[in-house]
Structure 1
Amino acid sequence: MMEDSKLEKLWEGPIPLPCMKVIELTYSKYLKELPDLSNATNLRKMIAGFCSSLSDIYSIGKSTSLQELHLAGCSKLIIIPYSIGSAINLEVLNVQICQGLVQLPSSIWSLKKLKRLLIGGSEKLNHLGRQLRSCPDISGNITEFDMSNTAIEEFPSSITAFLCLRKLSTMFAESLKVFPDVPDTIEVLQLHNAGIEEIPPSIRNLTRLTELSMPRCKKLKVLPTNVNLQSLSSLNLSFCTQLGTFPEISTSIRYLNMRDTAIEEVPSSIWSWSHLLELNLEDCRSLRVFHSFPDNIDELDLDSSNTGTDISDGSSETDLPLRINLKGCKSLVSLPHIPRFVSLLDASNCESLKIIDGLSNNPEGCLSFANCLLNETARELIKVVDCKFALLPGGELPADFDHRAREGLLTVNLYQIPLPLFFRFKACLLLLNGGYIEDKDASKNDKDDEWMGGKRLSCDIWCVQNGVDVGHGSCKYQLPAVLGSKEHLYFLKSSISVNLPETDVNGSELHFEFRITGKYWDLKDFAVNLLEDTHNEAECKEIADIRIEKIYMQEQCEEETV
């Protein structure tokens, strides 16, 4: 391993290296040529990526045992020598982002074991790059082919004969006008930024397709009908700005990204997609209708009331947690009854959203209706539903909260003996639109959620007896990353696992303090209600968000020692 070395040359002439299997030279910016590898009889992998001075690899054909050659980012590499055809065991050739590369030799098509050919980003290739307008006669053994940044307009029908092809990628292929007729062995098809206008009905033949990714195909308008690709689990049609049809080409989809498309409605059939985990409709500004459950879905037992309700539990896959992103759907006026299996619903900046038909209770559910219009009925639904947290516009703490903060701190008096092992509480925070403040103390483990942002709300709790802290705990909570234009209410439920010594002290206090770090929000006020603990000890240990660890004063420790 000589990664990031300062060497210009490794050695002169052939050197017997029968035991060497891997050479790692990545980021060796002074390296100008590869050494004679004819006596490295067991060399399997050569990694020389981003060697910015590398221009001579003529010795590579002498390495008949070589299986992988990685030269990505070698900007001074101009030609791959014809002798590479002698590397008869080569399976992977990676020359991505080789911006000076102008030619790949025809001898690479004689490499019968070649499985992965990666040329994406090598824009100056004369035969296989920006100038390429037809697909080359590639090896029938290739399983992965990356033709990104090419001028290819159409794939030939002969590509269907490549029965080993599993993955085909054409990133930034604006000239590609026709959806490729690929073999039915294909599993991953990535056609980013293409000029394709239609996905043909023949896609039904791709029975092994698991991922279809076509973001930013701005001319795409037509999708097939009466198609159900049973293996398809990921479909990305984001930023296809002319696409007005909701895709119904598979009921097996787990991840559907339709961000910034022209769709106007979401069909009721989507609720029967039992595998669906993520539905991203962010910035679908034409979306007006989100249909409710179809009448033929019997297993979803919805309470007819308009308050927070439970959906009957079952063993069906419908219980999989579903995350729905509706941020910025500015034409959406109403939402159907949201079932229990929706674990996250982000409708932030849906400026026209007034009506919610219902919300089912989900103790792990996360709801954001920041900057939504919301009528009074919808507001009451959100306030009473049992969920992990909910955010909605509002300028006043609800009157039904018993304990209110004063100057940023809140004290709750406890008179019961003994103290319970577990405390549960519901809090309501009054938030103001904040400015950007970098959180220098934020833990690297508190990674931002892709949709909701980071855990920027923290709660500190102290248990106090006779003026002495006997327990302390803290926890961080998700706070949606939205710039609020007005005051908002943030409701959350949490649990505290308390491990305190037995005591006969009559009277204890719980002190609460909430703090917000980072950007977007400032805390104006908050209130807390303690909830009755309806769980047994084992259940509470599983659901508790905060575990207060027992702490003793030095005097108490000394007394025990004595």
Structure 2
Amino acid sequence: MTSFPFINNLEFLVELSMRYSKLEKLWDGNKLLKNLKRMNLSYSKNLKELPNLSMATSLEKLVLAGCSSLMELPSSIGNLTNIWELYLSDCSSLMELPSSIGNLTNLSTLLLDTCSSLMKLPSSIGNATNLSTLLLDGCSSIVELPSSVGNLTNLKELSLNGCSRLVSLPQLPDSLMVLNAENCESLEKLDCSFCNPCIRLNFANCFKLNQEARDLLIQTSTVRLVVLPGKEVPACFTYRGYGNSVTVKLNQKPLRTSTKFKACILFGNEGKNNVSYIYWDTTCVYTKKNKGCILLDNKGEHEERGSVSCRIRHKLDSFSNRFSIITELDFHRARF
């Protein structure tokens, strides 16, 4: 059976779940689906087309992950103005999205990872202003993102890992907190700035980044972390040492009310052609009268005593080992 037999009344259908079906299509024509809220057709690998969904105006979640024969979405998807989640992961034949996707003003999550045939995002994507999570990992045919991505003022996470043909990034919204661009091996330019002090940036294996882009990342002020390829610690890190610690002398007596420390680690993996990465993180120290120091780490956790310590750990997916920084601070000395 390649499609449903004749179905007349679907008016009261609330959920349709047909994971791993063998269907090539669901039905012909337009059906009244005013109560349908969830549709899951994931891993229906023979599915080639979706029906007209213009009357499914209550749909909140559409899951099409793994529908590897699906080449396009109907323009009627723009009528799904109540949809929150759209899962298109591993739709490897999907070549484009309809411009009507910009009508999905309530869409919060859009997963397009491993859509290897997807050539581009429509400029109308910038109208989906409630979008919070956009995953494009493994979209190896995308060369650029539309400038309208900068209009996504609620975007928190943008993941581009493995977008191997991506050459540049446009201006991104200040709301962004996580940008993953690992293994974007063609990425050269960053036509953007990063103003969110809580942003996390990962550009591991982006070996073609030009010097202007590298300088931008080094100068970005963030209390989270930044990862990019490199062979030496940037010059702005003046206290240096080998091993897992370096002593930093504080000249201020007493400490200022707020003092920040940015620590940088350079490490490599001999098993991967001596590839090296630069990683840095930030720790803040605050002073309170009669209470000594308060150390605030990048998670907002703190200890309050005359001498405090903090351990910062981070593990890159590319490496099996773990690095740590131990910080000990008092009124006159900091140690990394």
The question of a shared fold, defined as TM-score above 0.5 by the shorter chain, is answered with: yes
1:137 aligned counterpart, secondary structure: helix
Q: Take 2:174 and 2:29, find their aligned partners in 1: how far apart are those partners?
A: 44
Match of 1:94 in 2: 40
Deviation at 1:197, TM superposition (A): 1.5
Give the structure 1 partner of residue 290 of structure 2. Answer: none
Alignment of 1:42-441 (within 5 A): 62=10, 64=12, 66=14, 68-72=15-19, 74-81=20-27, 85-106=31-52, 108-124=53-69, 129=70, 131-132=71-72, 136-138=75-77, 139-141=79-81, 142-148=83-89, 149-181=91-123, 182=125, 183-185=127-129, 186-194=131-139, 195-224=141-170, 227=171, 229-245=173-189, 248-252=192-196, 254-262=199-207, 263=209, 266-267=214-215, 270=218, 272-276=220-224, 278-281=225-228, 284=229, 287-288=230-231, 290-293=233-236, 308-309=247-248, 326-328=267-269, 330=274, 363-365=309-311
Tell me the residue number matched to 1:417: none
| Distance in 2 separating the partners of 1:80 and 1:315 | 65
Taking a change above 3 Å as real, the CA distance of residues 310 and 120 of structure 1, as seen in their structure-2 partners, is farther
Instruction: State the alpha-carbon separation in 2 of the partners of residues 249 and 90 from structure 1.
Output: 42
Structure 1: segments with no counterpart, 5+ residues: 1-54, 295-301, 345-360, 369-447, 454-479, 483-489, 494-533, 535-562
Per-residue CA distance 1:269-316 (angstroms, 9 max, x = gap): 64552342x3344xx3xx24543449xxxxxxx879995025687776
Deviation track 1:347-386 (CA, whole Å, cap 9, x = no partner) reads xxxxxxxxxxxxxx98434689xxxxxxxxxxxxxxxxxx
The amino acid of 1:136's aligned partner reads S
Q: Deviations over 1:77-128 (max 9, x none)?
A: 554346993442112211111224344322x33111112222121123xxxx
Deviation at 1:157, TM superposition (A): 3.6
Q: 2:181 & 2:265 partners in 1: Cα distance? A: 16
Which amino acid is the alignment partner of residue 147 of structure 1? L
Task: Go from structure 1 to structure 2 and tell me whether the alpha carbon gap of 1:221 and 1:110 turns closer, same or farther (over 3 Å shift).
Answer: same
List gaps (5 residues or longer) in structure 2: 285-295, 299-306, 331-336
Q: Secondary structure at the match of 1:309?
A: strand
Question: Aligned equivalents of 1:190 and 1:324: distance in 2?
Answer: 28
Which residue number in structure 2 is paired with residue 474 of structure 1? none
Opposite residue 203 of structure 1, the aligned amino acid is V
Cα contact 1:168–1:189 (8 A) shared by 2: yes
CA contact (8 A) 2:93 2:117 kept: yes
CA change 1:314–1:218 in 2 (3 A) is farther
User: Could you say if the C-alpha distance between residues 317 and 154 of structure 1 is closer, same or farther in structure 2, counting changes exceeding 3 Å?
Assistant: farther
Q: Equivalent pairs: percent with the same residue?
A: 21
Code of the residue aligned with 1:279 in structure 2: it is V
Q: What is the SS of the residue equivalent to 1:85?
A: coil
Instruction: Supply the distance in 1 between the matched residues of 2:173 and 2:259 (Cα, whole angstroms).
Output: 18
Measure how far apart 1:235 and its partner are. Answer: 0.8
Counterpart CA distance in 1 for 2:76 and 2:30 is: 17
**Letter in structure 2 aligned against 1:218:** S
Other-structure match for 2:333: none
The SS at the match of 2:150 is helix
Q: Which has the larger radius of gyration?
A: 1
Q: Take 2:34 and 2:241, find their aligned partners in 1: how far apart are those partners?
A: 71
Partner SS, residue 310 of structure 2:
strand
Quote the offset at 1:244 in angstroms.
Answer: 3.1
Partners of 1:110 and 1:336 lie apart in 2 by 50
**Conserved 8 A contact 1:70-1:94:** yes
The 8 Å contact of residues 133 and 158 in structure 2, kept in 1 or not, is answered as yes
Q: Is the 8 A contact 1:216 1:238 kept in 2?
A: yes
1-side partners of 2:16 and 2:51: how far apart?
Answer: 15
Question: CA offsets per residue over residues 249-270 of structure 1, 9 Å max, x none?
Answer: 4222533222221136643664
Which whole-Å CA distance do the structure 2 matches of 1:60 and 1:316 have between them? 68
When structure 1 is superposed on structure 2, of 214-223 and 241-250 the one drifting more is 241-250
Higher relative contact order (CA 8 A, sep 6+): 2
**Partner Cα distance (1:150, 1:304) in 2:** 47
Letter in 1 for 2:101: I
Q: Letter of the 2:199 partner, please give it.
A: R
1:208 shift after superposition: 1.8
TM superposition shift of 1:150: 4.5
Q: Contact 2:266–2:279 (CA<8 Å) still a contact in 1?
A: no
1:429-456 Cα shifts (integer Å, max 9, x gaps): xxxxxxxxxxxxxxxxxxx996886xxx
Distance in 1 between the 2:149 and 2:184 partners?
19
Q: Distance in 2 between matches of 1:110 and 1:259?
A: 45
SS of the residue corresponding to residue 110 of structure 1 reads coil
Decide whether aligned partners of structure 1 residues 76 and 63 sit closer, same or farther in structure 2, where only a CA change above 3 A counts: same
Aligned residues: 288
